A and B are shown apart, each in its own frame.
Chain A
Amino acid sequence: MKSKRPLKILIAKAGLDGHERGALVVAMGLREAGLEVVYTGIRNTPEQIVASAMQEKVDAIGLSSLSGGHMAQFRRVMEVLKQEQVKGVLVFAGGIIPDEDVKKLQKLGIQAVFGPGSSIASILTFLRQRLR
C-alpha cells in the first residue's frame, strides 16, 4: 500500500516544560527527509494536542518531554485520543524518560520511545516501517 502523499507528523510538547531542542531538531530532520511536519510549540494541554492531530489529520504524533512530567501528560493524551475515538494514529515519544516508564508508556499504547542520543535516521526508519 503505497501512497504518494508524504507522511504527516505532529510533534508536540505537553506540560510546562520548555526544552524544545529535541522536538525541534526532530521536526526539522523529518521535514528535511520529506515528511510533512506540524510543530505545535511548547505548553500544550493533552486536549490541544489531540485537537491539532485531528484537525491536521496526521499519521503520527510525536510527544516530547524533558521535565519528568511525561507519565501524567502522555497518559492523558492517550485517554483523550480514546475519548475522541481517534483511530489509526501512531503515537511515539522522546525525551528524558527512564527505562521503567518506557514499558508503562508502551502499555498505554505509545509505540516507541526515543531517548537521548537517538538519531533522526532511526526515527525515520520506525515511522516508515510502521506507517507504510
Chain B
Amino acid sequence: MRQYAGFGTAAETNQRYQYLLAHGQTGLSIAFDLPTQIGYDSDDPQALGEVGRVGVAISSLADMERVFKGIPLDQVSTSMTINATAPILLALYLVVAKQQGVPWSKLNGTVQNDILKEYSARGTYIFPPTPSLRLVADIVEFCTKEVPGWNTISVGGYHMREAGCTAAQEIAFTLADGIAYVQTCVGRGLAVDSFAPRIAFFFNCHSNFFEEVAKFRAARRLWAHILREKFGAKNERSMVLRFHTQTAGSTLTAQQPDNNIVRTTLEALAAVLGGTQSLHTNGKDEGSVIPTEASALLALRTQQIIAHESGVTAEPDPLGGSYYVESLTDRLEQQARDQLREIDNLGGMLKAIESGYVRQEIYRAASKHQQAVEAGKKIIVGVNEYVSDQPLKAKPQPVDPRLEPRRYRELAALRKKRNASKVQQCLATLEKAANSSENLMPILMDCVRSHVTLGEICRVLRSVFGEHQPSHSV
C-alpha cells in the first residue's frame, strides 16, 4: 500500500507523511512540483505559477531536510516520482540519510528514474535522450555498489496508458524502455544480474477488468523471456517483473465523482488479481485535484478492505488456468511482441522515440477512444450516458498565494548565507565531470551538501548536454 502524496511545502508534506504513517501506510511516496521535476528552483521565472502545485517544491538541501524531519529513513521505504532530476533528488536523500546517521545499506526505496517515457507521454524531460540515458545509468551503477536496497529504475507504462495507448501497447512500450535501460547499463560494463533485480515496473490499471489482469500476466512472461534470451540473465530475480500499480486517473470523471470510488475499487481488484506488488488507489477527486485528506484516506481504506476482508490475496495467481484469462494473456503477449518487433525494425526504442513513432501511436489511440465515446460506442457512466444534471464541482486544494513569495525569500536567504566560493567550485567540478564520462552521483552529493541548488546544477547540465527539442507533429 503506497499512496502518492506531496504538497506545496516541505513542512506540509512532512505532516501528511506523519499522518499516513500513523494510519498504517507502509511506504512513502513523494510527488514533486513541476519546477523541481524540470530542474528549476522555485524562484526561477520559468516556475511562475507552478510552485507547489502538483507536489512539493525542493530546491535545496534545507527543503529535503524539512520533508523528512522526524522520519527515520531506515524505517520507511520512499518512492520518489522523479526522472530528469532523479540524480539530484537521490543525492539529496542520501545526504539526509547520512545526516541522520543511517547507513546507505539500510535504505529502501525507489527513484522513478525512467526518462524515456517522459519523451513519449509525461513531458518532464530536460536533456536529449542520449545524455539522459547516461544519468539513468549513473544512478544504477552508483546504487548497485553503494545503496543495494534501492530500486534504481521504475519503468513506467502508467503515463503512456493515461495518454491513451492500449493495454498491449502499454506492455510493449514499457518493456521497450526497460530493454533500452538494460542495454545502456550492460554497455557500461555492468553484469546484467548485478543490477536487473533492482529494476521495477509501474503499470496502470484501467477499466477493462480481465484485460488488465491478463496484461500483468503477459508482461511478466514477456520480461522473463527478454532477460533470459536477449540479455543472458542467469539469476531468476533478474527475470522477475516486480511492479507497482496505480489505478487509472484517466478513467475518473469530474461528473458524479462518487462513481470514481467504484471504478477505483474494480481497478484495484484487477491489479491485485494480476499480482501487483504494491498499489496506489486514486482518490475519488484525483481526476481533477490533489486529493483531500478524507478522499486519500478512503482510497487507502479501499486497499485495506481488498487486502484483509475480500480474501483475494490468498493465492498469487488466482485466475491462472481460466480459459478466458489464459487466452487473453496469450493474445496480449502476441500483440506486445508484434509491437516490439515494429520498434526493433525502427532501430530500437531510442530511435522510435526520436522519430515521434511512439507519440504517434499513443495519440492515435487516444483520438480513437475519444471518437468512440462521442459516437456513444463506449459508455462512460455520468459523462455520455446516465447523465445527471448536477453542476460540476471541482474544489481544488488552494495553493497558498504567499507560497511563491515565501520561497523567493527562503532561497534568497540561502544564497546569501552559503559559502559562495565553495558553490562556484562545486559547479566547476560538476561541469568538468559532465563533460567526461565520470559517474556524477558523488559530485552531485558534494554540490547539494554545499547548498548548491537544483536549478543551479541543472543550469550547468543544460549548458553541457543541451535541451531536448521535441517534434510536435502528431
Contacts and interface: CB of A to CB of B under 8 A. Distances in A.
Contact of B367 (A25, A97, A99, A116): A25
Interface stretch (B130-138, B219-227, B392-400): B392-400
A22 to B, nearest CB: 9
B255 A117 contact: yes
Contact of B374 (A67, A96, A97, A119): A119
B164 A99 contact: no
B35 to A, nearest CB: 7
Contacts of B383: 117
A120 B395 CA distance: 25
Nearest to B38: A16
Interface residues of B, number: 46
A16 B370 CA distance: 25
Given A16-B34, A67-B34, A98-B395, A24 B363 contact: yes
Given A20-B123, A28-B367, A39 B472 contact: yes
Interface in A28-62: 28-29, 32, 39-43
B306 interface: no
B346 interface: no
Contacts of A39: 472, 474
A78 B474 CA distance: 27
Contacts of A25: 164, 363, 366-367, 370
Contact of A15 (B50, B164, B391, B399): B50
Contact of A67 (B50, B395, B474): B50
A-side interface size class: 20 to 34
Interface in B302-331: none
B394 A99 contact: yes
Given A16-B34, A29-B370, A98-B394, A21 B163 contact: yes
Contacts of A16: 34-35, 37-38, 40, 46-47, 50, 124
A28 B474 contact: yes
A69 B50 CA distance: 6
A96 B40 CA distance: 23
A69 B366 contact: no
A106 to B, nearest CB: 16
Contacts of A73: 48-49
Interface in A74-130: 96-99, 115-117, 119-121
Given A21-B363, A29-B367, A29-B370, A68 B474 contact: no
Contacts of B40: 16
The binding surface of chain B is classed by DSSP as loop
Interface string B355-388: 0000000010011001101100000100100000
A97 to B, nearest CB: 8
B49 A69 contact: yes
Contacts of B395: 98
B58 interface: no
Nearest to B255: A117
B287 A42 contact: no
B50 A96 contact: no
Given A16-B46, A72-B48, A67 B123 contact: no
B100 interface: no
Nearest to B48: A72
B253 interface: yes
Given A16-B34, A116-B288, A21 B366 contact: yes
B472 A40 contact: yes
A72 B49 contact: yes
Contact of B254 (A17, A18, A117, A119): A117
Given A67-B54, A98-B395, A116-B288, A18 B370 contact: no
A71 interface: yes
B162 interface: yes
A116 B50 contact: no
Given A18-B122, A72-B48, A121-B374, A24 B253 contact: no
B289 interface: yes
Nearest to A65: B49
Given A39-B472, A115-B392, A120-B370, A68 B363 contact: no
A116 B396 contact: no
A96 B367 contact: no
B474 A98 contact: no
Contacts of A40: 472
Contacts of A32: 367
A125 to B, nearest CB: 12
Contacts of A120: 370, 374
B254 A42 contact: no
Contact of A116 (B163, B287, B399): B287
A42 B49 contact: no
A27 interface: yes
Given A21-B162, A115-B392, A116-B288, A28 B53 contact: no
B166 to A, nearest CB: 14
B470 interface: yes
A41 B470 contact: yes
**Among all A-B residue pairs, the 6 with the closest Cβ atoms:** A18-B123, A72-B49, A69-B49, A16-B34, A41-B472, A116-B254
9 contacts: A18-B118, A18-B124, A21-B163, A28-B367, A32-B367, A40-B472, A41-B472, A67-B53, A72-B49
Given A18-B122, A25-B363, A43-B123, 10 more contacts: A15-B34, A17-B34, A21-B162, A21-B366, A24-B366, A25-B366, A25-B370, A27-B474, A73-B48, A120-B374
